[in-house]
Amino acid sequence: MKTIVRETRETRVEIGLGRTGEIAAPVPARVETGEPFLDHMLTAFALYAGLDLELKARGDLRHHLVEDVAITLGEALARIVPARANRYGARTLPMDDALVQVALDLGGRPYYEGPLPAPLYDHWMRSFAMQSRATLHVRVLRGTDRHHVVEAAFKALGLAVREALGESGAPFSTKGAVKWEDGGC
């Protein structure tokens, strides 16, 4: 498990993240943000993604807290993507009245297309996509209960992440593996 900390005058977010990859016996996430709905969404995300997640966060404002958790979790995810990851994942998930589709590419090209009907959690998805350097499309196909729509989106995102993190044995690109070098700039 890798641990990172992001601290500003507004927030402090500490995340430990690792892959369990297991469906039958997932490791329950340990999430403490002081924002019960966010804790619920992150726990569901980690379970469906097959991730071992330890997250502690505090912030001055709800918006800052939610945004900075998304940024930090996105960075943590980017750091654990295997070189030979499947890269792509997509899921459509029903939850009562809600039907949400998520398509994801962990190939290093940040882009987000939504929206979710809850602006704060739409912003979470955008911030997460940008920092994880992922292309993320979220389509709400149906749903009137915002809780169900947002929860379906987090669960579908988790399943798409699980699929994308799977290892195929070869770089999944006609470019081959992308290599970065620090030129001392």
Tens of pLDDT, residues 69-107: 999 999 999 999 998 999 999 999 999 999 999 999 999
Question: Does position 14 have pLDDT exceeding 90, yes or no?
Answer: yes
**In the chain, where does DSSP find H-type helix?**
36-49, 62-80, 119-132, 146-165
The structure's pTM equals 0.92
The lowest-confidence range among 106-110, 113-117, 123-127, 174-178 is 174-178
Strand-strand pairing, 135-142 and 111-113: parallel
List pLDDT tens digits, range 125-137.
999 999 999 999 9
| Beta carbons of 127 and 71 less than 8 angstroms apart | yes
Q: Say which residue, 180 or 166, is predicted with more confidence.
A: 166
Q: What pLDDT is recorded for position 138?
A: 99
As a whole number, the mean pLDDT across the chain is: 92
Which secondary structure element, helix H or strand E, spans residue 177, and what is its range?
none
64 phi/psi in degrees, rounded to 5:
-60, -45
Q: Considering all CA atoms of the chain, what is the largest pairwise distance in Å, rounded to the nearest integer?
A: 53
10 Å Cβ neighbour count for 39? 18
Architecture, CATH, for domain 2-165:
2-Layer Sandwich (3.30)
Rounded to an integer, what distance in angstroms lies between the CA atom of residue 150 and that of residue 158? 12
